Each structure stands twice: as C-alpha cells, then as structure tokens.
Chains A and B, each alone.
Chain A
Amino acid sequence: QSNSIDGDAIKVYVRVRPLTQGTGLTTDGDRNLCLAVTSDHTVRLNSKPEPRNFTYDHVADMDTSQESVFSCVAKNIVESCMNGYNGTIFAYGQTGSGKTFTMLGPNELTDFSDELRGVIPRSFEYLFFLISREVEKSAGAKSFLCKCSFIEIYNEQIFDLLDSASASLFLREDIKKGVFVEGAVEKYAASAAEAYQVLSMGWRNRRVASTSMNRESSRSHAVFTMTLESKETGQGVVNIRTSQLNLVDLAGSERQKDTHAEGSRLKEASSINRSLMCLGQVIMALVDVSNGRSRHVCYRDSKLTFLLRDSLGGNAKTYIIANVHPGSKCFGESLSTLQFAQRAKLIKNKAMINEDTQGNVK
C-alpha cells in the first residue's frame, strides 16, 4: 500500500453496527437485515430487484472491535500528524447508526480504561504516547505543545463549544496558518486525560446548547481540533513544525436532505417574502456546469467545507467513517450513507493548474 501523502484520495471506512434493542431505531422483532458484509472491502445492500455491492477502503462488520477501528482508521493519521501533516477523521451516518459509539464510546463514557472507548480517546492516548516517546528519544531537544479547540457549526453559524457565552464566530484565513476560527478558545492539553477533559466539557456544552437554544445536535457539525506544535533545537537552529488533527462529527445524514441532498424539490417562495433565495443557487449551478472559462462564483462554500478545505484532498490525510445500521427499516438511510461514502471517495482537491498556464510549446 502506497504511503505517499499527496494524491491520496479520501479514504472511507464503513462500519456496520450490531443490532441492539432500544436504539430508537426499533429493530425489536425485526431481524431482517438489509446489509451484508461480503469482504473486508465490500458490502452488499439487498435492494430490489438486484442487490447492490459497494466497495470501500475497508468495511467492518458487526463484530469489529473498537481497537480494530482505531488501528485501521486513526493510527496512521495520528502518526503523520506527528510528522507535521494535517489529518482529519469524519464520522458520518444516520442518528442511531453508531457514530457516537465509534467516535467516543458507550454512553459518552469518561472511563479511560474501558475496552469500549472509541476512536477519539484512543487517538488522544496514542498521540501523547508518541509525543512522550519522541521527547525521550531526543533527550530533551524536542518539545511539543498541544492546543485544543472545539467548535460547532449550526445553520452556517459557528459557535465555540469551549466558551458557551460567546457570540457566533467568523472564519478567517492566514497566510501562515491557513483557515482558522477567529476568537475560538484554545485550551492547552499536556496529556490524553487533559485533552479528554476539554472534549467532554465541549460535548456537554453542545448538549446544553441544543436544549436551551433549540439547536438540534443531529443538525449540527462538531469539529474538535488539536493543533500540535513541535519544536526541535539543534545546533543553534530552532525548527518549528505545526500540524492539525481534526475530529469531525457530521450532522446526522438523515437531516442532510433538508438542506441540499434533495435536489429536485423546488424551493418555494412564500408570498410575503421578497427574497427568492434559491434563484442564486440555480444561477450558480448554471455557472458551475460551464466549460473551462475563468469565472467568479459569488456564493461561498459552506462553513464546514471552508474550514476543512485542506482536508478534502490536497496534502492532508483524511478518513471518513460511514456508520450504517443494518436493519431493514434503515434501508433508505443506509443507501444514502453508502452513496455519500462512495461520492466522498471521489472528492479530491484538484491541483488545478489552469489550462492557460499549462502553456503551449513555443
């Protein structure tokens, strides 16, 4: 398997959760499955008339352990973060498909020793394990600084989960440090436990916000970012490297259709509203399908894609964990999750060298 960073498309890991009772998605009495894992890379969806097969970088069946998810998805990304590269892990799926379990663990646990803890606590542990190993190996020549921020994107507005009192924040770009959320609180973490503390605090705020401000957490994206700065002193030269690890909990896939997935539905204009909001989207689509001419599109990316622009291809490592529920009642949602995951494999920031600058031979 190639290990080169550039050119790597986004990787996709599909995890099928086991059937359990009382998940909100009642499967009680309904043992019919609409999904079957057919190999490490393929899953079959029992659609009619023909079953459909989907292929991904990895497909994990119901018996897959948390440790196994972590080693497959996150280990490599954490390692490359240590080497100065940016990494992102997205969790995607319908509510109840096991996103929180995969990322955090059962019941948003706080017990670190639990075998069932998820990708995020394991990533913290592994990162700080690697840090202490490096520090030891370098005999003090190398030092690390780790900062955490935790934000939520709801309705195209950005909220700071580490400062629940703050108003909505703005995205900005810096020539040296890329895209960042202006004014977001950054907390230092010196150990996995400290990082986990920051995470749980934000997670709690997310809950509080969702009840008090009528924000539904299944409609919001949460982005936990760890910025790792390494400093190496050698022969009088100080070498500083920074990298980012983004852990993203995407809004529930079943909610996506309210926003953009359902393309064919007409946007209505209520008779009192002077604004025909959708017209711009129609025009933008016209401009989008155009030939290679240089043009400017006035409508901005969504906040999430803007923030994670670097993760969607380019030189960052990105893994998407698509969680699916195998129950036949979830057929529709599972299909849409699998399709999304398939599309995600195609996402790649093109190294767009303009046709024009490719030059003709003179």
Chain B
Amino acid sequence: LHEHNMASAGSREWRAVCEKFRRAQDLSEVESRKDPENDPFRSKYKARELLKEIYCTLKNFDVDDGEGEGPEADGQAREALNGEPANKAHTGDSRAGLRAAKLGVIDYHLGVNHIETEELSAGEEYLMNCVKLLDECTVTRENVSLFIQVGNQLGILWAGRDETEKAQGFLETAESIYVQYMKEDGQPPLDLVDFFVLEEDAPSQQERMRRFEMAYTHTLYYLAQVYKNLGQYESAGQYCHSTLQRQLKFSHFVPLEWAINAATLSQYYITKTRYMEARHCLAAANVIAGLAGEVPSEAAAKESEAEYEKREQLCQKRAEIARCWIKYCLNVLQDAKKLLEDNIGELDLDRQEELQRARQDEEEEKERGRKTAVLFDSAEMFDSICGQEEKVSCILPLNFEEARAIFLVGQGYVTQAKEYFEMDGHVTDHIEILQDHSALFKVLAFFEEDLERRCKMHKRRVDMLEPICKDLNAQYYLLICRQLQFELAETFYEMMDLKLAVAEKQDQPDAHTIKKFNHLCLASIKYYQMFLDSIRSPEGKFPEKLEDDILRPALVAKFRIARLQSKIISGNQASQLENLNLSLESYNFVVQYCEEHPEAKKAVETELELSEEMVSLLPIKINRIQCRMVSSN
C-alpha cells in the first residue's frame, strides 16, 4: 500500500518531512491551546510555516516523480467534484493521483490553518486548491477521506459567510462521495495523516475506518444544521436522526447527551404524528441513558461535590426523558380521541366499530412501514430498545382498555418525573407535570362509558390541581395561576355536565344530588371568576379592551358563567330570579363586548351566537317568574 505512495520512503529527507508534519500537527492541536492572549495564534503561525515548507519539499520530490503526467487542468472545481470518472485525468491510486492527494492534504491543512487564524479568504483558496487537485482524480481508498473532509471544511466556511446554499452544495457532494465509495469499495480508506507518517506510526485499519466514519458523521451533522438554517425542517429532522444513529453505531457519543437528543427528537416526531418513530427514539433514550451509570446514592452525594453533580445530572435527565414519554402517551390518547369523537365531543360508537374493523389491515401496513423506517440499529442495544418499545403501543387506542394501558404507562412516567421535579425547588416543572397528569385523566375519561366513573376521574384532576392553585403566588406565577384557574373551572364544569346527564336519567333528583350539583356549579363559577379577576388592573378595573392572548379565554369564561348561573337549582323563586339576572348580565357582557369590539367576533363565534339567543330569551323567562312571584304574593 505504502510502496508507491512514498516513493522516497525511508530516505532521510522523507523522515524529515514526516517529522515536520508531526510537529505542525502538534503545534496546531496541542500547543496552540496554551498560546498567550496577546499572541493567540503563535503556534498556528509556526505550524503554517512548517506546512509551507513541506509543500515546497513535496513539489520538488514530485518534479522527479510526476513529470510527464500531463498538465494540471484547471477545471471548475465544484462541477468536477460531481463529475463522472470518465472525465478524470487520473485514478486516485495512480502515481499522479497520489501526488495530488499528498499535496491536497497539505493544502487542506493550510486551508484549515488560515481559517483558524481568521484569514478566511486565504483559507478558502487553499481548500479550493485541494479540491482542484482532487478534481483530477477518481475517488479511491487513497483520497476519499480527503474528499469528505475538504467538503466539510468548505461547508463550514460558506455557512459562516451566510451562503448557506453554497455550504449545502459542498456538504451534499461529500455525502454522495461517501455513499458511492461505500457502495463500490467500502474498505478502510487512508487517513489524512497516512501520507506523512512513517509506517510504524500509521493508524490501524480499524482506526482509519473509525476516523473516516466520524468525518462522515460530521458531514451529516453539518447538513442537519444547514437544513435547519434553510428552514427545511423535514430534512433537518432526518439528518439529526441519521447523526444520532451513526453516533450509536460507531460508539461515538456521550450517553446522557445522546439520550436527551433522542428524547427531544421524539417530540419532533410527535408533532408530526409519527408515533412509531417517536416511541423508538424514547425507547432508545431509556436504554442509552441507562449506560450513563448508576445514580449515586443520596449519602454519596452529600459526601462529595462530584457525586452530587452526577446524581443531579442523572436524575434530571432521566426525569426529562420521562416527561417526553408523558407527552407521547398524552398525544397518542388525544389523537385517538380526536379520531373517535362526534360533533359534541362524545365517543362515536359507529366510528369506533368502523375503525376497529379497519385496524387489521392497517396493522399489516404499519409493519411494512416499520421495516423501511430509520432505526437505531446498534446490534447489542437492539433487543433492549425493542424491550422498551413493547411496553407501550404506538397505535392509536380504540377502546377504554387500550386507552387505559397507555394512560398507565404515562402515569408511571408522571410518578418518575415528579421524583426529580419536586414542588420544592422546581415549581414550574412540577406543575407542568401535574397539568399533564390532569390531561391524561381528562382524555382517559373520554373513553369511559360509565358517567359516574368518568366523573370520578375528573375529581382526581381537581384533587391534584386545587391545592396548588390555592398556594401559588400569582405575583410570580400569574400565567400558571391563570391556566390552573381555567382548568379547574372547566373540570368542575365537565363534572356538572356529567351530573346533569346522570340526573336526567332519574325521575326526580334528591336533595343530596341537588346539593352536589349546585356545589359543582358554584365551584366552576368561582374559578372562572378568579380567572377573570386576574385580568383586572391593580386598581381592580376590568380592561376596556382585552389583550389578544386572553380574549377568547375571558369571553368563554363569561359565557360559561352565564350558563352555570342559569343552571343552579334553587328552591325559591327569588334566588332563581337572582341567578337568572346574573346569567343575563354575563351573556350581555359577551354580546356587548363583541358589539364594541367587532374584531372579537370571530374568536367566539359559537358562543356569541348562543349568547345573543339567550339575551333575547332570558328576559321572557325572567319576566314569567316575576309575574308568578307577583301573583303568588
């Protein structure tokens, strides 16, 4: 292999070149880090001089070797990078090809050196010289690494100049060269240092392969960034996935960091409703996070700062992954709900049956899809990842049992996440987890056919949110307070509706039922009112004009209060009258607000229509009661 590559190998002169090269690398990579602040590039400049000397020596060497190999055509660099082998003057492993590669490596290093010392144009020139040299050659084991690495460097350079498309071009070229090489040859290629080390110092085949694969992983990593910068999110996602996959395959990763990246990627797939991929990422995140080592005990953490940090890191990252799982379960359930609900938000039984019948075919399709999907195909980890995947379905649930299975997995992760994100110290995170837990219950309730049991699920939501809503300081957590108030109001509202439905089945509700029902109405009103009060100014004034972000919630709250007021069951006519008047007042608020602010109409179309109707109907009802009261007096 090295024979013709080093025509003068072993000669004293050649040894000196190798020594110079080693010294240049050492200066550039190790010593430069210690350079003084007022002379930050000292070592880099020294390295540069050495590289230039090597370049001259090489030119002289090659005058003897390379004569008669033909002129150096000055082809269009980029075009030739893509060019057909037929147009190439030399094969990569010919004498001329090797000469080109050798000079190219020095050009490459000079290019990188100039870029690192902030001389971008000069750097670019050297890199392009390297590209021109390579242009003359076919891609072979000898030069393929250089092809990839120079592509990477030019990609970085042009992206830094905000010419993203240009960067994309170089990186995509590098990508296609890799793919083609692996298809046609695939043997461990030479590394960039190979031309300038003595045989005994040359990296092993394995090490060559490792460096080569790593350079290509970087190509994909840069492409992921380029596609993101270009707004091509689909491709960016795909390249992130491929980068992670290759990091895993070539054991080139930091476990916790990898796991968090995979877990985050799952959230991208969730937003695209690609649950199979999302689950795969999460399962892999669980497995890989496990490689980060045992969590130090609390006692050990107290003993040493390092152990404390490690414990903190591990616990936090695992809790983060758990939170990604919660979102997975939640979204699967919510999507299933959307699929199954009728126009009033109830389970559509016909649709359920239809979907269950269609499920069979679909599953076969999914299985086929799975095989084509990108997987983290690390041999030793694959079984563990599958093991994690088996614990939860990635198919939308179609009945209560299936929904419950997913709910329980989600709830398990809620418990796990709360262990780290305790209320004390992590208020916002803790509450977010509780909100998800509440949402899990809410969507599970949708699948529950028994109304009383459904009501109990909502009660669980109240139980977890109400105490916090009470304790939370609105001065610091105004937004969360509002969310909690609204959600509690809504939960009580749902319970009220359920009780109403149950009561309608009975002939005559008993006093106990009425009391419970009224309690739910009042609780819901209370929280809607708290939400509305949070909008008031410090002086207690309700704003003339609602901000966009609270416009709909505020009007919906008014509308709901109106409905709740009219639903309260009252034994005596006077209080019934009072409730109806309050109800009318609230309906009126919605109508009047929209009259004064026409732009609000489209935010609350349905509510407005119903409010207008009620504003015309309620006075008649009120009037009737008033008449009855007068006549009975």
A362 and B268 CA atoms in complex are apart in Å by 32
Enumerate chain B residues within 8 angstroms of A362, measured Cβ to Cβ: 344-345, 497
Enumerate chain B residues within 8 angstroms of A279, measured Cβ to Cβ: 221, 224, 240, 243-244, 261
Enumerate chain B residues within 8 angstroms of A359, measured Cβ to Cβ: 490, 493, 556, 560
Minimum C-beta distance from A292 to chain B (A): 9
User: What class of interface size applies to chain A in its complex with B?
Assistant: 35 or more
- Cβ-defined contact, B426 with A83, below 8 A: no
Contact of B267 among A269, A297, A314, A353 (CB under 8 A): A297
Minimum C-beta distance from B182 to chain A (A): 20
- Cβ-defined contact, A266 with B497, below 8 A: no
Take A177-B476, A286-B233, A287-B267 as given contacts and tell me if A266 and B156 are in contact as well, using a CB distance cutoff of 8 Å. Answer: yes
Take A264-B162, A290-B271, A362-B344 as given contacts and tell me if A354 and B320 are in contact as well, using a CB distance cutoff of 8 Å. Answer: no
A350 interface residue (CB < 8 Å to B): yes
A7 interface residue (CB < 8 Å to B): yes
Minimum C-beta distance from B570 to chain A (A): 23
Contact of A296 among B211, B224, B320, B497 (CB under 8 A): B320
Write the B460-487 contact mask toward A (1 if CB under 8 angstroms, else 0).
Answer: 0000000010011111111100110011
Take A275-B254, A357-B490 as given contacts and tell me if A286 and B240 are in contact as well, using a CB distance cutoff of 8 Å. Answer: yes
Enumerate chain A residues within 8 angstroms of B552, measured Cβ to Cβ: 353, 358
Chain B residues touching A, majority SS:
helix
- Cβ-defined contact, B473 with A175, below 8 A: yes
Q: How many A-B residue pairs have CB under 8 A?
A: 212
- Cβ-defined contact, B497 with A264, below 8 A: no
B264 interface residue (CB < 8 Å to A): yes
- Cβ-defined contact, A280 with B264, below 8 A: yes
Enumerate chain A residues within 8 angstroms of B482, measured Cβ to Cβ: 351, 353
Write the A274-316 contact mask toward B (1 if CB under 8 angstroms, else 0).
Answer: 1111111011111101110111111100000000001000110
Question: Of residues 75 to 106 in A, which have CB atoms within 8 Å of B's CB atoms?
Answer: 80, 83-86
Contact of A269 among B221, B439, B468, B486 (CB under 8 A): B221
| Interchain Cβ contacts under 8 Å between A and B, 12 examples | A84-B475, A264-B164, A266-B167, A276-B221, A287-B264, A296-B267, A298-B260, A298-B264, A315-B475, A356-B334, A358-B553, A360-B345
Enumerate chain B residues within 8 angstroms of A274, measured Cβ to Cβ: 252-254
Minimum C-beta distance from B564 to chain A (A): 12
A49 interface residue (CB < 8 Å to B): no
Contact of B330 among A86, A294, A351, A357 (CB under 8 A): A294
Enumerate chain B residues within 8 angstroms of A179, measured Cβ to Cβ: 476
Take A264-B229, A266-B226 as given contacts and tell me if A293 and B271 are in contact as well, using a CB distance cutoff of 8 Å. Answer: yes
A73 and B610 CA atoms in complex are apart in Å by 46
A271 interface residue (CB < 8 Å to B): yes
Minimum C-beta distance from A106 to chain B (A): 29
Top-3 shortest CB links A-B: A178-B476, A290-B271, A173-B427
B523 interface residue (CB < 8 Å to A): no
With both beta carbons as reference points, the residue of chain B lying nearest to A310 in the complex is identified as B476
Of residues A242, A289, A295, A315, which shows the largest number of chain B Cβ atoms within 10 Å of its Cβ? A295
B550 interface residue (CB < 8 Å to A): yes
- Cβ-defined contact, B267 with A349, below 8 A: no
- Cβ-defined contact, A178 with B473, below 8 A: yes
A5-B538, A296-B324 known, 15 other contacts, Cβ within 8 Å: A4-B541, A7-B547, A266-B160, A269-B221, A271-B218, A278-B225, A279-B224, A284-B264, A286-B233, A286-B268, A294-B334, A297-B267, A298-B324, A351-B549, A352-B549
Contact of B473 among A176, A350, A351 (CB under 8 A): A176
Minimum C-beta distance from B521 to chain A (A): 15
With both beta carbons as reference points, the residue of chain B lying nearest to A167 in the complex is identified as B305
Of residues A84, A266, A362, which shows the largest number of chain B Cβ atoms within 10 Å of its Cβ? A266
A134 and B240 CA atoms in complex are apart in Å by 60
Question: Of residues 536 to 555 in B, which have CB atoms within 8 Å of A's CB atoms?
Answer: 536-538, 541, 543, 547, 549-550, 552-553
With both beta carbons as reference points, the residue of chain B lying nearest to A262 in the complex is identified as B160
B66 interface residue (CB < 8 Å to A): no
Minimum C-beta distance from B21 to chain A (A): 16
Minimum C-beta distance from A192 to chain B (A): 25
A276 and B217 CA atoms in complex are apart in Å by 10
Enumerate chain B residues within 8 angstroms of A358, measured Cβ to Cβ: 552-553, 556
A351 and B551 CA atoms in complex are apart in Å by 10
A114 interface residue (CB < 8 Å to B): no
A260 interface residue (CB < 8 Å to B): no
A147 and B535 CA atoms in complex are apart in Å by 30
Enumerate chain B residues within 8 angstroms of A178, measured Cβ to Cβ: 427, 473, 475-477
